[in-house]
Structure formats: C-alpha cells, structure tokens
Amino acid sequence: MDNSEIAAVFDEIADLLDLQGVAFKPIAYRRAARNIESMEIDINEVAADGKIEDIPGVGKAMAKKIEEMIRTGKLAYLDDLRSEVPSGLVELLKIPDVGPKTAVVLHNELGITSVAMLKEAVLSHRLHGIKGFGEKTEERILQGIRTVESKSGRTLMGIALPVAEAFVDHLKESLPLDKICLAGSLRRGKETVGDIDILVGDDKPATVMDAFVSYPEVDSLLMKGPTKSSVRLRSGLQVDIRAVESKSWGAALCYFTGSKEHNVSMRRIGVEKGLKLNEYGLFERESGTMVAGATEEEVYEALGLRYVEPEIRENSGELEASKQGTLPVLVNRADIRGDFHVHTSWSDGANKVEDVVSKAMAKGYEYIAITDHSQSLRIANGLSPERLSKQIEVVRKADELGGGRVRVLAGSEVDIRADGSLDFPSSLLKDLDIVIGSVHSRFKMEKNEMTKRVVNAVSSGQIDILGHPTGRLIGKRAPYALDLEKVFSAAKDSGVCMELNSFPDRLDLADANCRHAMNSGVKVAIATDAHSVEQMDYIKYGITTARRGWLEAKDVLNTVRGKDILKRLHGGRP
Ligand code: DGT
Ligand code: CA
Ligand code: CA
Ligand code: ZN
C-alpha cells in the first residue's frame, strides 16, 4: 500500500468514528492522514527503516496499524468499524453539508441509510419535523444530493414517480384537463428513468404549456414551444411535456409510452396491413384516411392486436402474444392481500408492531408479517433468540387484537450464514409462521460457493422466502455472483418463494428475473422490506416490477387468501 492508500484508510476510519460519536480520535486520524499524504518519502521505506513513529501525528497505535497494512494489505480494525456502522451512512457523508452529526440524526430520526432514502425524505418534506432542520437545510441538502447524483444520469422510479405525480396533480388543478397521462419509461414502470414524460390531449395546447412552465418546482426552463416544452425541476429531474389534439390522444400515448423497440414492431405490423402509424394516428397508406387514433385500444385493435399493458411494451414477445390472444392477465394491486417483509423498532425499523398492523388494516390487507433481523446482524440490532421469543408473544397479542380482520404473522428475516446455515436454531424457527432467509454478509464470495450457500438455505426446509435474492442495489452494488438457475431449481423442489423486494433501490428480483422464476415454476412473494409504516406503500413498485416480469395473480404468493395463507407457509408445509 502506498502513502495515499494508507491516508484514505485513515480518512475512512475518521468518518466511521465520527459516525459513532467518538470524540478527538477522528481529528487525530485526519491529521495523520494529511501528513502521510504529503510526505515525500514512500511510507514503505519509512517502515523498512523502523521509523514510522517519527511521522508527525503518528503514535504507537497508529504505527501498528500502518505496519499491519504494509504487511498484509488489510486492516482488521477497519473491518470491525465497518461492521458496526450501516454502509449507507458513510455514503451520506459524500453529500456536501452533511456531516457525521447530521447523518446520525437522519439515521436515528428517520431511519435513513442511503442517499436515495434521504432524497425521498427531503422531497416529501419529512426533514421539517426534526429539530434544527428548516427549509433552508432541506434545500442545501437537496442541492448537495444533486451534485452527488449528477454523475449517474438515471433516477430511481421510486424517486421519479412521486415527483411526476405531484406535477400532474398540479396541472390538473390549474386546468380542466381530462386527458393527461405519464408516458415514457415511467409509465412502463422501469426501475430507473432518464426523464419524466407527460402527455396531454387538449385542443388548447398553449395554455397547457403556460401552466407547465409556471409550476413552482421548476428550476429552469430548457425549451418552450407551442406543443412541447421541457423543464428541469428543483429535484434535478428533467420533464418533457407534449400536447396533442384529442383525436390523436391514443396514437400519441402509444408513441410516447414506447418503448422505441415496441413502437418499431407496431409500425411494421401496420406496414404489412397497408397502414401507416405515427404519433398522430393510424392511417391508410394509399388514401391517407385516418382509421384509428383517439384511444390506445382502437389503435391496437385496428392493427389486429389486443391491448398491451404499458409495463410489458418492451418488444420481448408481447406483440406475438397479443396477436395470438395469449397475453398474460398481469397481477394488480387489488390481487395483493398482504406484505411479507416488515421491520419494526425491535430491530432497525422505526415503528411498533401495533403501528404496522394499523397500517396493514388501512391498506386493506388480510395478513401482515413481522420479520425483524436475526442475531448476527448486529448493526441492525438483530434479535437474540430470547428477544425473538418475546416478540412472538407480542405478535400473537397483536393478532388477537386484530380480531381476525388481519392475520399478524410471526416471522423473521434470518441471516443465511457463509456456509448456508441459518442464524437461528431450527427449534426456534419452528415457532414462526414465516421465515425469510437473506444474505447480508460476505457478498464477494466466489460464484460456486455463493450458489452452494444459497441453495443450502433454500433446501433446508426452514425458509419460506429467499429475501432480496441477488443482493443488488441499483446503481450502487452489482448482484452477487449466483447461479440463479440452480437456485430456482432448488426453490421449486422445496416450495420456496423468491422475494420481489419492493424497495426502490433494490427491486430484487428484477423484472426479467421474475419472468425467469415464473418459467421455472417458482412463485414470487412481493414484499416491501419496510423499515417504517410509510415504506409499506413501496408495494406499488414491487407490483409494477412483477407486471414487467409478466407475472399473473397465480404466480404471486400474496394473492393467496388470508384464510389459506398459513397452510401455504412454514407451519403448514409438510
Ligand atoms: P428514458 O427516459 O431514457 O428512461 O426512456 P424513455 O423510454 O422514456 O425514452 P424518452 O424519454 O427518450 O422518450 C419517450 C418515448 O418517446 C419513448 O419511450 C418512445 C418515444 N420516442 C422517443 N424518441 C423516439 C424515436 O426516435 N422513435 C420512436 N419510435 N419513438 C421514440
Ligand atoms: Ca423518459
Ligand atoms: Ca423524454
Ligand atoms: Zn434484508
């Protein structure tokens, strides 16, 4: 390791100590880091001469750490510190104006552990409630997040959708619009979007454009024309709007929803029938007579096709299925009867079991599972066997209070250890109604080893659901090396479901993997992994992703009725 690498380790140690509220030490580590960085001699030479302690600011303890790094290329102390602090908190420190104190307050008060979660909280003005956080702070933090984000270019659906919906609501309040709809990748429900597209069907487009650019959240005007405009919002997102005449509404909605590849195939089908399709309508090629265009349904019908839901317009077999009448009936919100993955204040969640149950009732659920972390996950305050037993009693009581309107399932999100064994003894797991097994450590295992680990857990007969099966974090962490084919095959044999974790930066299984799971005969359990009751609303992102994966109600565990669910889970399985 060279001087700058060792300085970087000391800086990280300082950050982690800051986050733990340790006094003085962080300053000492940063001072040493600066001195090491600016030294003209290679630190390895200094070490070889046995002179590390001569470096200004480096005492005995630091010298030992430097020697360890030079000898092994690693530092056990750093690994320990990392395991004590949620990884996303360090990421928050990259935001200008967010220091360790702020990060800790955000974590303690709102359960924030990532930049994405912070952004969502700022945009929904949830920082207001915290002492010392005014409107100005929110604005500064938002600017900082935009600086950090401007490197990536795409925005999570979970961030973009609320922003887009608020904009559409504003337009509807300002004008009497009956034809207004989100288009583009956001309407198709992609996990990330490049920008927001809004389509309006209105015969007075100029007034629409005026209302569009005068929205208070607009930061800058990029383009304003008679029928199309673009703006950048305070959140950093770009929004495009198009206004079309009512008679072209359906054709334009098809066009601007995309995907481009789906549109190209649609046009080709038109050509075969002597028809021309564009954003204004569907026309006879010879005479130019318009044959359809006012609604999407009539456009599809005139092409000899069934209506295709936006989520599957990706040119991946949907037009063939549409022609043959074999399109899936996609799962929808009304089919969903419960949530299988919710954390409470027993581990790292924000709310009490009772609050989660109330929220479940408000959502019209027939069941809700309480699944806190297991003992090994100490940074998330994982439950010891004793605490889990106590929690089970609390859950049973909440179930009674629910009076049968909502079944409260006692569960756990139990860690899958490196060897594939589970983090609680089977005698304890037997007392639960539902067990999610999740990988939360050693993400960098080699593929065969990781596959064996996960297959082991799936085949143990002790889990119902494999939690966030690939471990990816969108834009931040690649999926771990895993042979999904083998995992699905083991899951099919043992009746284990794959989770579709609905957290906006997870969506794991991803859409294409959901389709793969379904084709392998494996059911998908849509779950939120909510750490607060508000996050239980993330279920909609999971449902959208399931739809993009062509899932029908029969492919999804949450469509099972309340009275049958226990028979399908843990205790009920032979
Ligand atoms: P994004 O914003 O990168 O997440 O993806 P989209 O799909 O929203 O793409 P965007 O915003 O560039 O355009 C919105 C829709 O407009 C797109 O899905 C299809 C349609 N569109 C845009 N440009 C073209 C084009 O050159 N040809 C065709 N056929 N359609 C286009
Ligand atoms: Ca777009
Ligand atoms: Ca666009
Ligand atoms: Zn988890």
Enumerate the β-bridge partners of residue 182: 198
- Which of 221, 244, 267 is the last residue before a domain boundary? 244
In angstroms, the CA 71 to CA 573 distance is: 53
Same domain flag for 166 and 311: no
User: Residue 261 C-alpha to ligand 1 middle, in angstroms?
Assistant: 9
Same domain flag for 538 and 498: yes
Tell whether the model's pLDDT for residue 26 goes beyond 80: yes
Tell whether the model's pLDDT for residue 403 goes beyond 90: no
Sequence-ordered alpha helix ranges (H) in 282-332: 296-302, 318-324
What pLDDT is attached to residue 124? 85
* Nearest ligand, measured from the Cα of 241: 3
Min mean pLDDT across 4-8, 109-113, 157-161 is at 109-113
User: Residue 24 C-alpha to ligand 4 middle, in angstroms?
Assistant: 34
Closest residue CA from atom 29 of ligand 1: 260
What pLDDT is attached to residue 367? 97
Residue linked to tokens 């430097």: 66
Tell whether the model's pLDDT for residue 147 goes beyond 90: no
Same domain flag for 363 and 261: no
Same domain flag for 19 and 123: yes
Same domain flag for 501 and 406: yes
Q: Quickly state the pLDDT bin for 117 (edges 50, 70, 90).
A: confident
Half-sphere exposure of residue 8, counting CA atoms within 13 Å on the CB side? 6
Same domain flag for 347 and 289: no
* Nearest ligand, measured from the Cα of 267: 1
φ, ψ dihedrals at 437, nearest 5°: -105, 130
Tell whether the model's pLDDT for residue 132 goes beyond 80: yes
CATH code: domain of residue 229 = 3.30.460.10
Min mean pLDDT across 123-137, 244-258, 291-305 is at 123-137
* Nearest ligand, measured from the Cα of 374: 4
Residue 190 CA: which ligand 1 atom is closest? 4
In angstroms, the CA 278 to CA 570 distance is: 53
DSSP 230-280: EEEETTS-EEEEEEE-GGGHHHHHHHHH--HHHHHHHHHHHHHTTEEEETT
In angstroms, the CA 8 to CA 109 distance is: 30
Closest residue CA from atom 27 of ligand 1: 260
User: Residue 230 C-alpha to ligand 3 middle, in angstroms?
Assistant: 9
Same domain flag for 207 and 255: no
What is the total count of domains within the chain? 4
**CB under 8 Å to 166, separation ≥6 — which residues?**
217
Alpha-carbon Rg for the chain, nearest whole angstrom, is 27
pLDDT digits (tens, 9 = 90+) for 178-232: 899 999 999 999 999 999 999 999 988 999 999 999 999 999 999 999 999 999 9
Same domain flag for 230 and 283: no
Q: Give the environment of ion ligand 3: residues with CB less than 5 A.
A: 195, 197, 240
CATH code: domain of residue 432 = 3.20.20.140
Domain that holds residue 104: 3-151
What pLDDT is attached to residue 259? 95
Q: Whole-number mean pLDDT of the chain?
A: 93
Tell whether the model's pLDDT for residue 383 goes beyond 60: yes
Same domain flag for 132 and 60: yes
Same domain flag for 407 and 517: yes
State which of 256, 276, 279 you would mutate to test the pocket of ligand 1, scoring each by most atoms of that ligand within 8 A of its C-beta. Answer: 256
Q: Give the environment of ion ligand 4: residues with CB less than 5 A.
A: 438
216 lies in some domain: yes
Same domain flag for 345 and 490: yes
Residues enclosing ligand 1, CB less than 6 A?
A: 184-185, 190, 193-195, 197, 255-256, 258-260, 263-264
What pLDDT is attached to residue 150? 64
574 lies in some domain: no
* Nearest ligand, measured from the Cα of 264: 1
514 lies in some domain: yes
573 lies in some domain: no
240, 235, 241: which is closest to 150 by C-alpha? 235
Closest residue CA from atom 19 of ligand 1: 258
- Which of 302, 324, 346 is the last residue before a domain boundary? 324
pLDDT digits (tens, 9 = 90+) for 421-474: 999 999 999 999 999 999 999 998 999 999 999 999 999 999 999 999 999 999
- The sheet with strand 275-278 has its strands ordered as 275-278, 281-284, 290-292
In angstroms, the CA 194 to CA 239 distance is: 10
Sequence-ordered alpha helix ranges (H) in 86-204: 87-92, 100-110, 115-123, 135-149, 157-174, 184-188
- Which of 324, 346, 361 is the last residue before a domain boundary? 324
Same domain flag for 357 and 272: no
What pLDDT is attached to residue 574? 40
